[in-house]
Structure 1
Amino acid sequence: MEKKSLYIFNPEHDLAMASGETNYMAPASARQMATDLALLPVWYAEKEAKVLAPSAYNMNFLKEIQALLGDMAQLITEPEVADETEWKFFPWGWDPALRKRLLSLGIDRSQLPSEEYLVSLRDYSHRSHAVDLLPKLQLDEYFCGESFYFKTPAEWKSFVESRTACLLKAPLSGSGKGLNWCKGIFTSFISGWCTRVAALQGGVIGEPIYNKVIDFAMEFHSDGKGKVRFAGYSVFHTGRSGMYAGNELLSDEGFLHKLSGYVPLEELLQLQNRLKEELTNLFGHLYCGYLGVDMMICHFPDGCPIYRVHPCVEINLRMNMGMIARFLTDRYLSSKAGGMFRIAYYPEVGIALKEHERMIAAFPLRVENGRVCDGYLPLVPVTSRSQYRAWIEVTDKVSGMK
């Protein structure tokens, strides 16, 4: 009997992986995000799949969306999961805390990754692997980037004091988390932070600050049997602190056109092929699922060339927002449309619903033949209790993107 697919949105994954603890309890904000955005996988799961989410308001929302855009994956609640004997699981990312959660729902351990596999996955998720990979991707003068893995207090102190500005990173942390921006002075706060991170994760990552023009990523899929394929491009936006703010919705051709305005197209294709080889060697026989390699276009005003690609800022061994944007564009947007996929957090309860209602009125949705042509489309239900929203803003003129 063929196994049924079950998708799970567990955005606390990076934090859980960093802790490594089976009994990890995510902070309240991460748990809220998991609840508010639980239905997000319906946009990338196959139609025959199930998505784990609370019922009630999610079910009603899903019916409304299916009436607009056609069949999608179906909702399933936690008590119903144990009723099915054979599952193939597709979480946002695997970690010991999720494994324990599924065991508590009655899933047989034979259907879940082993504890040994999750230890290996945590090791491969360590940012030191991105540090090691970076020099192998410096293909010619169109590429840039330095990154270091420091294990001793003398090393991280020397690094901070040797430059006017730099960035320190925890080797395991969530997107936009575990970052420490330094300005040439090795303060007691930075010293304490480095000591704590190194005690838990082996060391600290050090990077120079670059004059960034664009954040983008190359997305891949590994089958776990030695084959890694290219899955698309994504261009994303971050806030000042590095927190994720949204993804552009464009075809791969549109992304290549955008990026090739800075570096030659053949350089991007050369990098894509090299990455396939290197990722296959690194993860191809261990990891099964999507992974993203974050990159930057950097500006060197006095250099030649003046724009260069930093080809490996970090590697995410999990599903990611760039892949959601890729699925949204390919499955649900009109071929003439473009726009933005966004996620936002509202600390005060009730504000998310007000903003949702404002956007419904301001950007009326237009759908033709099951494809979004224009307007505002929420991707999850928004209630009076919601503190997170996920949505797309679409325009039928890509050059006039909102």
Structure 2
Amino acid sequence: MELYLFNPDSDLALANNEANYIAPASARRMAQDMALLPIWYAAPGSAVLAPSAYNADFLKRMRELFGLQVQLATEPELPDYAEARIVPWGWNPAIRRFFLKGGVREDRLPSPQLLAEYRLLSSRLQAVAVTRCMADRYPECTCGEHTLLNNIADCERTVNAMHACLLKVPWSGSGKGLNWCLHGFTKPVSNWCERVLREQGGLTAEPIYNKVKDFALEFYSDGQGEVRFAGYSVFSTNEHGAYTGNLLASDGQIEESIACCLPLEKLTGIREALRAELASIYGNTYTGYLGVDMMVCRSDKENGYRVHPCVEINMRMNMGVVARLFYDRFVAPGSKGCFAVEYVPDNETLRARHEQDMHDYPLMVEQGRLASGYLPLVPVTGKSCYRAYVRI
């Protein structure tokens, strides 16, 4: 038996690294509104930890439409899952403490020592060495550089030398922990760098690229030394770099769209080289999904394209994997669409959009697969500020 939990604050909890960490209100709201998201990627016969009040009816309906073999588990029922395999969105000391207090056996949870290793492996700094390795192997079609900064003098020197750059903290949530430096080493940038150096010990700087497309290669590590390719992800972000959604399409369709900018043999070569590199770093330590974010960038000098092979590595479940698994399991073959996560602070506005989408894009499910229309992936209630949905 496996028990799944959606804890989207995992990266923030890793940054804090305390067992008594409390997530910000926005992250707690997202976790509550989207608690049922794991039903779409959970293994048959497993359970998803979520409040029952407004989720039970939604899950019942989804089981009828798509044949889901997943059940609901609530917090008071945690002792019933004392020996289950726990599958959170991401691991950190706070979530370990939560399950331990809830009645899950300690030997079913990662040790504090293993979580300390996970924290190091989850740092954005891991992308530095991997990017260099890929650049050495494929100098003719890749771009990308990360500069490690460990003191304020290095920060000032690097930012002024690059004129415009992107600073990143080692641990942060998706689209968070980024500082777009467009006007040199200003006082606000200096204050931000000093705080990050004090709290996390370092940061990275990279150029701002002429991005054409965001995509990712998704992998799965079995913890026994093997890492396998799990599929492609093409995703979108807002102007701040925060995730907004994914393309829903087959791996073949996505491969074709990338091949317009990067020859297929180069793409498959980079994919295999990344797989081998990830296996050497994560394969014997970590069990779970790994997402390597990448970019197709326009190369002005060559009037062509280059690929940034490792913008960052997500050592956890991620929305790209959710979209990939949802498409493969529940979408009619050959169809295309979008997967999106949306935040609207006003509940009435969110519900109005939900109702309008249901009206404009009638749901059509054929033989357990989504043929067309709008499908909310979690219930939209009278308190929701977040929704996750697909549209085919």
TM range (shorter): over 0.9
Q: Which residue of 1 aligns with 2:254?
A: 255
- Which of 128, 132, 137 aligns to 2:134? It is 137
Query: Mean alpha-carbon deviation: is it higher for 123-132 or for 90-99?
Result: 123-132
Alignment of 1:323-402 (within 5 A): 323-394=321-392
Secondary structure of 2:373's counterpart equals strand
CA distance in 2, matches of 1:153, 1:35: 39
SS where residue 388 of structure 2 aligns?
A: strand
Q: What's the % identity of the aligned pairs?
A: 50
Q: Distance in 1 between the 2:102 and 2:221 partners? A: 28
Q: Does the 8 A contact of 2:249 with 2:334 survive in 1?
A: no
1:210–1:298 CA contact under 8 A, matched in 2: yes
Q: Which residue is 1:159 aligned to?
A: 158
1:49-128 correspondence runs (5 A): 49-128=46-125
1:281 maps to what in 2? Answer: 280
Structure 2: distance between partners of 1:199 and 1:117: 24
Moved over 6 A (4+): none
Q: How does 1:240-319 map to 2 (within 5 A)?
A: 240-303=239-302, 306-319=304-317
In the alignment, structure 2 segments of 5+ residues that lack a partner are none
1:229-256 Cα shifts (integer Å, max 9, x gaps): 1000100000000010000001110110
Match of 1:354, SS state, is helix
Please report the RMSD computed on the Cα atoms of aligned residues, expressed in angstroms: 1.0
Residues 83 and 105, structure 2, Cα contact 8 Å, conserved in 1 = no
Partner of 2:24: 27
Q: Distance in 1 between matches of 2:93 and 2:60?
A: 33
In structure 1, C-alpha distance between the alignment counterparts of 2:80 and 2:58, rounded to whole Å? 24
Q: Do 2:3 and 2:81's aligned partners in 1 also have CA atoms closer than 8 Å? A: no
Distance of 2:85 and 2:101 partners within structure 1 = 17
1:207 corresponds to: 206
Counterpart of 2:309, as a letter, is P
Query: What letter matches 1:208 in structure 2?
Result: P
Residues 287-345 of structure 1 deviation map (CA, whole Å, 9 limit, x = unaligned): 110010000000013316x1010000000000000000011110000002110000000
**TM superposition shift of 1:84:** 3.3
Cα drift, residue 71 of structure 1: 2.7
Q: CA deviation at 1:376?
A: 0.1
Distance 1:209 1:84 in 2: 47
> What code does the residue aligned with 2:111 have?
S
- How far residue 143 of structure 1 moved from its aligned partner, in angstroms, is 0.7
Structure 1 distance, partners of 2:156, 2:369, is: 54
Residue 81 of structure 2 aligns to a residue whose secondary structure is coil
Q: Secondary structure at the match of 2:312?
A: strand
- Structure 2 letter corresponding to 1:17: L
- Cα distance, 1:390 vs structure 2: 0.3
Map Cα deviations across residues 244-279 of structure 1 (whole Å, 9 max, x no partner).
000000111011000001110001000011011111
Asked if the contact 1:12/1:26 (under 8 Å) is kept, the reply is yes
Aligned counterpart, 2:146: 147
Worse-matched range after superposition: 276-285 or 79-88: 79-88
> 1:348, 1:387 within 8 Å by CA — same for their partners in 2?
yes
The separation in 2 between residues aligned to 1:70 and 1:117, in whole angstroms, is 37
Q: Which amino acid aligns with 1:285?
A: N
2 CA distance for matches of 1:84 and 1:249? 34
| Equivalent in the alignment of 1:320 | 318
Given the alignment of the two structures, is residue 187 of structure 1 paired with residue 186 of structure 2, yes or no? yes
Q: Which deviates more, 328-337 or 345-354? A: 345-354
Secondary structure in 2 matching 1:83? helix
| Contact 1:376–1:393, Cα closer than 8 Å, also in 2 | yes
Cα contact 2:341–2:387 (8 A) shared by 1: yes
- Of 2, 5, 13, 1:5 maps to 2
Aligned residue for 1:237, secondary structure, equals: strand
Query: Deviations for 1:338-369, whole angstroms, at most 9, x for unmatched residues?
Result: 10000000111222211111110011011111
Q: Say which SS state the counterpart of residue 16 (structure 1) adopts.
A: helix
Range 154-163 or range 319-328, more displaced: 154-163
In the aligned structure 2, how far is the partner of 1:45 from the partner of 1:384? 26
Q: C-alpha separation between the residues in 2 aligned to 1:266 and 1:64?
A: 44
Task: Assess if the C-alpha contact under 8 Å between 2:246 and 2:338 holds in 1.
Answer: yes
* In 1: Cα distance, 2:98 partner to 2:230 partner: 30
- Superposed CA deviations along residues 30-73 of structure 1, whole A, max 9, x for unmatched, are 00000000000000011200000000210100111111111331
Distance 1:106 1:49 in 2: 18
Alpha-carbon distance in 2 for matches of 1:299, 1:289: 33
Distance in 2 separating the partners of 1:61 and 1:130: 39
Deviation at 1:164, TM superposition (A): 2.7
Amino acid at match of 1:294: D
CA distance in 2, matches of 1:285, 1:56: 40
Given that 1:160 and 1:184 are in contact with CA atoms closer than 8 Å, whether structure 2 keeps it comes out as: no
Contact 1:166/1:184 (CA < 8 Å) preserved in 2? no
TM-score by length of 1: 0.95
Q: Across the two proteins, how many residue pairs are aligned to each other? A: 390
